[in-house]
Amino acid sequence: MFQLRCTVRDCCQILEPRENSLFCSNGHHFDQAKGGYWNLLQPQDRRSRNPGDVEEAVLARHRWLERGHAQGLIDTLQPWVADSRGTATGSDCRTLDLGCGEGSFASALFPDDIDSYCGIDLSKKAIKLASRSTPAATWVLANADRILPAPDRSVQRVVSLFGRRPISEIKRVMAPAGYALIALPGEEDLIELRQRVQKAGHRRSRWELVVEEMAAAELDCVDRKNWTQTIELDPPAIQDALAMTYRAVRHSQQSQLDTLTAMNVTFAADLMLFRHRS
């Protein structure tokens, strides 16, 4: 199991497993949920009664990945995953996935290290799906925008695939020779749908800003790639593409979407690999 630490405010002690619970030396404990995940969410971490992605977005992403549309992205990331495994001492290569969603990337990218993989998400629906599909991994309901539930300098791979990026916490948990793998939507991502449905085809590149922010924390970009793929989508897949990428369609735009038949849509991502500054 991935080693976790207590999320109670100002505690941060290591959590030790005991039967179906986790205990820290300060007496805090967490029971494992029936679904197999750990709920480490604290009251101050909640911004609503149902935090995290709405169920529509979670299920849309799940259907999307089941169709195999992300295989090109997975293939592009594989060499980095393989290289980063060489930073581990012994056979334990710990991976912390921030905003893991329903967990499909875990088994696709890290099958050889699933016992030392931990996925964190704020959506209970997503974590339940993830725990059900890959029970050998560690799944945590927590707010990755705040304190990450991992000990200092203990993680060989910190992963954020279109998810959260708490830079100071990423730096804290990364092992000295570890990597941080970050993916952002590229400037061409869903450009056809944005032009057609939302009447907004603005191209915005964000990777340069992320590189600057990480560099300020002495985490340097050592490699970068751009992944682009064009896929013909039918109307249900178009609905899912919009739902899973937080570009929900307003009521006024629904009529535009209803008229769409199959169309070619571009998917793009900026991929960055970071290491501690020497």
What does the DSSP assignment read for 223-235? EEEEEEEEEEE-H
Residue 56 located in a structural domain: yes
Residues annotated within a binding site = 24, 28, 102-103
Residues annotated within a binding site for Zn(2+) = 24, 28
**Total-model pTM:** 0.89
Residue 186 located in a structural domain: yes
Nearest to 97 by CA among 134, 50, 68, 140: 140
Indicate which CATH number applies to the domain containing 112.
3.40.50.150
Residue 106 located in a structural domain: yes
Residue 3 located in a structural domain: no
10-24, 32-46, 112-126, 212-226: lowest mean pLDDT where?
A: 32-46
Residues annotated within a binding site for S-adenosyl-L-methionine = 102-103
pLDDT digits (tens, 9 = 90+) for 148-198: 999 999 999 999 999 889 999 999 999 999 999 999 999 999 888 888 776
When divided into structural domains, the chain yields a total of: 1
pLDDT digits (tens, 9 = 90+) for 158-170: 999 998 899 999 9
The answer to whether the beta carbons of residues 238 and 257 sit under 8 Å apart is yes
Q: What residue numbers bound the domain in which 60 lies?
A: 16-276
Q: What is the pLDDT of residue 235?
A: 86
Tokens of 31: 């029971």
Nearest to 147 by CA among 98, 83, 78: 98
CA distances from 169 to 89, 92, 229 (A): 22, 21, 32
Residue 6 located in a structural domain: no
**Residues near 227 by Cβ (< 8 Å), separated by ≥ 6?**
72, 73, 76, 186, 267, 268, 269, 271
Residue 38 located in a structural domain: yes
Checking if the pLDDT of 33 tops 70, the result is yes
Residue 8 located in a structural domain: no
> How confident is the prediction for the chain on average, in pLDDT?
87
**Residues near 237 by Cβ (< 8 Å), separated by ≥ 6?**
64, 67, 69
CA distance 52 to 125: 9
Residue 5 located in a structural domain: no
